[in-house]
Structure 1
Amino acid sequence: MLPPWLGQAVGPVLVIVLVLALAVLAVATDHVRSRERALVGTQNLARLIEAQLSDNFDKIDIYLQLVALRHGSVLQGGGADPGGTGLQVQPRMARVALDDVAIADADGAVRLRTASLPAPLAQVGAQEFFRRAVAEPRGALVVVVGPVPGGPAGAQDGASRIVFARAVRDARGTLRGVVFAGMSGAQFDQLFEGIDFGVHGAASLRTEDLQAVHYHPATQGAPAGVSDGLRRAVRVAPAQGSYEAAGTVDGHQRLNAYRRLRDHPFYVVVGQSMQDAMAGWRANTLMVAALAALTIVLTLWAWLMLVRSSRRQLRALHNRFEAIVQSSSDSIVSKTLQGHITTWNRGAQQMFGYTEAEMRGQSAVRLAPTDRQGEDAALIARVRRGESLQDYETQRLRKDGTLIDVSMAVSPVLDARGRIAGISVIARDISRHKAMEVEIRSMAFNDPLTRLPNRRLLMDRLRQAQLSSSRQRSYFGVLFIDLDGFKRINDSFGHEAGDQMLIEVGRRLQAAVRQHDTVARLGGDEFVVLLEELGVDEKTAADHVNTVADKILDAIERNYHLRGETHRCSASIGIRLLVGSQESPEQVLMDADAAMYSVKRQRRALRTFAFE
């Protein structure tokens, strides 16, 4: 048999496993979300830089077109001398500024230039930008990156720079020359100012074949190479995409996003260092690990405290439960699945009259009345199926032979393995409650003084009489009775005498009618008699009603002996004889009442009746 503490350890172990699982899930989920946030941020940076580069390239293109329009006359065979320096550079466009601007004719001879362009650079026909601009069929802007001999003043010979060029053609499409402008790497780097790449973030501008044109931040030494991850990503998605790779310059692992410039043969690549991107995740991981460790420590401590106090608590709980059972006024009994009683509390002894010694080991059938001997077996069968019964009302037999009404809660008792080992029965004496129910029901439908049906019960029976009369086409009668002279007796001899007279009138009315007829008191000195099943013949029905009315008047007019005095009383009766009836019960009663008052107004003899 396993030690008790091992069973108690299952809960803490499950809690620890759950805490660890939740911690791992939280860390993994946060890792995915942190990576997603870093990727979205990198893509947004790439989109921002691509927009800035494309916008500046477009403005430079427009500027070159304006230069060609304004100074195109030098390409018509006249105007400025070759190598002339009459051009002025636009001070600043967007976020960058050009170093020099020049116009060359169709043979590559520079006809007009800015002062910043070195004088020896008079022939550019052999330059790559010139050849590509001439070869561009649509006359679009050409961007070329590479060393230019005799660069601008202050630059080293062969230094890397960016040249923008576009062909100049006349209306017939004949080549007239090329207008071009140059920009140093330092000027170009201004596009990246103000953008937060993080501590180890980087960005680069690359050609269509992914060769690095510019790298930010600027580095010393070998130029940036091309990672295999970038090559694979561009092959799959040439326009834009993302990949993870180590930087070819500094070796930092980065999450990179790239985009192709709009209308230009370049890529912008932005990388966010994984070290920077996952810094928040690492902090959250440490916090989750600390919380998980604290939870595990507290769980183990609580489990140790539980093991130490469990026996003491169980002992106290058992004593408390035993005290509750013994002090309860309810009968609390347990029995076997065969129905033999095993425990019997003091409440059961008070309720049934048997002591514990008399009932222990006895069958519970001993408490069942003769007509309920099979009830106990049926309850045991239901409990064996796992059912629990609440508020099961029945009757049981006391030791003195009297019956009591009880409400029982029957439930199975389980052993340590969860199997049904016995039955628990808690019974409560509801005899007084049942008596109160009968009393309340009587008060709701009966007159409290005469115990005759009241108005509510009369209306229900009158409604039923109408339905029965409609089905059978038989007559029924309603007699509305009002006592004459009752007020005098009530005022002269007191309410007690009046109450005694009303009770006696009720008895006499019941004696004057059939058992299934209804005698009701509406209140005061008004009574109603409902005569049902008077037959289908109207005359026969009317004769029966008159006969009953005669008997009622005879009974009411007999002497009353009240408090040693003899009194007499008479009555006025209004009658309604009906078959079926589409009228409401209230209307039928009102018509009978009106007939009774007609009798009073005509001041006929006491035996005069009025039909409606």
Structure 2
Amino acid sequence: MNPEKPTILAIDDTPANLMMLGAALAGEFDLRIAASGSEGLATAARVVPDLILLDVMMPELDGIETCRRLKADPALRDIPVIFITALADFGSELAGLNVGAVEYIAKPFRIDLVRQRIRNILQLARLNRELADSEERLRYVMEATGDGIWDWDIDSGMVSHNHAWCRVLGLEESLLRHPVATFESLVHPDDLPAVREAIEACLAGSAPYASEHRMRHGDGGYVWVSDRGDVVRRDAEGRPRRMVGCVKNIDELKLKEAEIHRLAFYDPLTGLPNRRLLTDRLQQSWLANKRHGGFGVLMFLDMDRFKQLNDTYGHAMGDQLLVQVAARLQQCVREQDTVARFGGDEFVVMLDRFSGTPEAALGAARNIGEKIRAALNAPYRLGDMAYASTPSIGLCLFDGREANVDEVLKRADIAMYAAKSAGRNTLRVFGEAEQSDFVL
């Protein structure tokens, strides 16, 4: 071991990753390598490193379990652990934080960022060891990566920061030191209960503090931040006396998450839930009605002669019609109901939370269905043209006694084709032709 260099233990079952890390870090750090979790534990026991880089996905003993065993060993539990992973999975990240990891670094590596993060974590670990006897502030740690540091003196109720903290939130540097109540006033009111809960759990020793929440920016808006920390000093009775951590702006990440969610669950043309989200909500409603004895209603709607509109005037005109249909459908239903675009000119309306008898639920559903039909019969303005279009609507009740949600969808679809066969611009209920019970 080189006493002049911090010792880094890299645990990864991929030789290429170990070679890359070795080539990049050897000049600044005394790098030890291990190709498995068990080998890493043995190496750490022989030569206690200053920091561990730990791969999440490994056979036999994965990174989460390896970290758990490290933290269970009194001789190794204070070693900072940085997970390296190719997963973009927030559940995995939270699991890692819960077993004591201090940071995540994503593959493929940006070596300059890895090196800087290692420097920062080592620096923070050194400062944590000195905090018991020193009033040294952590304001300069992680400035290079833009992370803001906070240092909470619990006895005085005052929080101190580095300059990066103010830059993250666009605040005046007069707020480098302030009462903890000022921090709470900056947290979005909707997020504050969860933030308080996470802090209380950390103070109680249940888990490190980790939260993603919105904070008020100096421009008056809110930004998403990732906020992490832990208690670094307790008194002889175990009461927390000091807590430190860091905050980073994750607005861009949240925007990307929201866009991914929108693309996965919403129709890009109308903004309505797509088939995938509808199926999920239908499953939840079906299970709720099965447990509690209520009714749901599903309507399949198909716009009559839509292909003729596309063929005559072009798809742009057809798209205009679909957008207007979506808007009218949303105006006809309640807040708890779902309007979805199923594909093409097909829409689905799910009405939830009907109680009473099947006949009463069906009567209420018919009224809403006729309201929808009337709304969709009104002329549409497509560019300079007034255009008339009508819907064929199929309706079925469901209460959880059906085989599954696919059966519910099939019944509504059958009823919709019955409406088309009856001459279009009408509503038909599944099973009514046979005068049988409407929930089969």
Q: Name the TM-score class by shorter chain.
A: 0.5 to 0.7
2:337 to 490, 510, 517: 517
What displacement does 1:340 show? 3.2
How many residues align structurally? 288
Offset at residue 505 of structure 1 (A) = 0.6
Picking from 448, 463, 468, the partner of 2:268 is 448
AA aligned to 2:343 is G
Match of 1:598 in 2: 418
CA distance in 2, matches of 1:532, 1:378: 35
Number of the residue aligned with 2:158: 340
Residues 381 and 572 (structure 1), Cα distance of their counterparts in 2 relative to 1, 3 Å cut: closer
In the superposition, relative to structure 1, how do residues 548 and 404 fare at CA in structure 2: closer, same or farther (>3 Å)? same
CA positional deviation for 1:559 = 0.9
CA offset at residue 595 of structure 1?
2.5
Cα distance in structure 2, aligned partners of 1:479 and 1:377: 42
Q: Shift in Å at residue 442 of structure 1?
A: 3.7
Instruction: Tell me the amino acid that sits aligned with residue 411 of structure 2.
Output: D
The 1:402–1:339 alpha-carbon spacing in structure 2 relative to 1, beyond 3 Å, is farther
CA offset at residue 504 of structure 1? 1.1
Tell me the percent identity: 31
CA contact (8 A) 2:362 2:397 kept: yes
Structure 2 residue 214 is the aligned partner of structure 1 residue 398: no
Contact kept, 8 Å, 1:387 with 1:411, in 2: the verdict is: no
Give the residue type in structure 2 aligned to 1:460: D
Q: Is the 8 A contact 1:572 1:596 kept in 2?
A: yes
In 2 relative to 1, CA 388–489 (structure 1 residues): closer, same or farther, beyond 3 Å?
same
Taking a change above 3 Å as real, the CA distance of residues 601 and 381 of structure 1, as seen in their structure-2 partners, is: closer
Amino acid at match of 2:303: L
- Shift in CA distance, 435/588, structure 1 to aligned 2, threshold 3 Å: same
Alignment-mate amino acid for residue 142 of structure 2: V
In the other structure, the counterpart of 2:228 is 409
User: Do the aligned residues in 1 keep the contact of 2:140 with 2:162 (CA within 8 Å)?
Assistant: no
Quote the residue 2:324 is aligned against: 504
Contact 1:479 / 1:574 at 8 angstroms: preserved in 2? yes
Q: Comparing 518-527 with 470-479, which one deviates more in the overlay? A: 470-479
Query: How many angstroms does 1:402 deviate by?
Result: 3.3
What's 1:369 paired with?
185
Which of 347, 372, 375 is 1:552 aligned to?
372
Relative distance call for 1:364 and 1:496 in structure 2 (3 A) is: farther
Matches within 5 A, 1:7-156: none
CA shift, 1:451, in A, is 2.3
State the shift of 1:479 in Å.
1.7
Matching residue's letter, 1:482: D
| Pairing of 1:199-210 with structure 2 (within 5 A) | none
Is structure 2 residue 407 aligned with structure 1 residue 584?
no
Structure-1 residue corresponding to 2:312: 492
8 Å contact kept, 2:225–2:250: yes
Amino acid at match of 1:609: R
Pair member with larger Rg: 1
Q: Determine if contact 2:199/2:209 at 8 Å carries over to the other structure.
A: no
Q: For residue 531 of structure 1, what is the aligned residue in structure 2?
A: 351
1:550 to partner: Cα distance: 1.9
Q: Which residue of 2 aligns with 1:482?
A: 302
TM-score norm. by structure 2 comes to 0.55
Cα deviation digits, residues 214-237 of structure 1 (max 9, x gap): xxxxxxxxxxxxxxxxxxxxxxxx
Question: Aligned partners of 2:194, 2:375: CA distance in 1, in Å?
Answer: 52
Q: Would you say the 8 A contact 2:158–2:180 is kept in 1?
A: yes
CA deviations over 1:586-612 (Å, ceiling 9, x no partner): 12212221232233344x252353533
Counterpart CA distance in 2 for 1:466 and 1:355 is 53
* Secondary structure in structure 2 of the residue aligned to 1:508: helix
Cα distance in structure 1, aligned partners of 2:217 and 2:262: 28
Q: Structure 1 residues 474, 362: CA separation in 2 closer, same or farther (over 3 Å shift)?
A: closer
Alignment correspondent of 2:142? 325
Per-residue CA deviations over 1:273-331 (Å, capped at 9, x if unaligned) read: xxxxxxxxxxxxxxxxxxxxxxxxxxxxxxxxxxxxxxxxx9xx99xx99763333111
Q: Does 1:572 align with 2:388?
A: no
Residues 468/364 of structure 1: CA separation in 2 closer, same or farther (3 Å cut): closer
**Match status 1:354 vs 2:354:** no
Q: Is the 8 A contact 2:370 2:427 kept in 1?
A: no
Report the equivalent of 1:123: none
The aligned counterpart of 1:428 is: 248
Are the aligned partners of 2:166 and 2:175 in contact in 1 as well (CA < 8 Å)? Answer: no
In 2, the alpha carbon distance for the partners of 1:459 and 1:470 equals 16
Q: Is the contact between residue 297 and residue 398 of structure 2 (CA under 8 Å) also seen in structure 1?
A: yes
**Preserved CA contact (<8 Å) 2:202 2:231:** no
Contact 1:387/1:412, CA 8 A, preserved across alignment: no
Structure 1 residues 389 and 569: CA distance shift in structure 2, 3 A: same
The reply to whether residue 389 of structure 1 matches residue 205 of structure 2 is no
CA drift at 1:524: 0.7
Aligned residues of 1:519 and 1:528 also touching (Cα < 8 A):
yes
| Aligned mates of 2:160, 2:355 — CA distance in 1 | 65
Contact 1:344 1:359 in 2 (8 A): no
Question: Residue 532 of structure 1 aligns to a residue in which SS?
Answer: strand
**Contact kept in structure 1, 2:418 and 2:428, CA below 8 Å:** no
Q: 1:333-390: per-residue Cα shift (whole Å, max 9, x none)?
A: 3454434345523x2232123344x13443343232275599689949946x778735
Question: Which amino acid counterpart does residue 455 of structure 1 have in structure 2?
Answer: R
Quote the residue 1:133 is aligned against. none
- Could you list the per-position Cα deviations for residues 497-555 of structure 1 after superposition, in whole angstroms to 9, with x for gaps in the alignment? 22221121112112223333322211110111223344443443333333222222211
One-letter code aligned to 2:300: F
Residue identity opposite 2:143 in structure 1: Q
* TM-score normalised per structure 1: 0.41
Mapped contact 1:482–1:525 kept (Cα < 8 A): yes
Contact 1:557 1:569 in 2 (8 A): yes
Q: Deviations for 1:439-472, whole angstroms, at most 9, x for unmatched residues?
A: 4334333323222222223223333333344445
Asked if the contact 2:139/2:161 (under 8 Å) is kept, the reply is: no
Q: Which residue of 2 aligns with 1:271?
A: none
CA 1:528–1:380 in 2, change beyond 3 Å: closer, same or farther?
closer
Structure 1 unaligned segments of length 5 or more: list them: 1-313
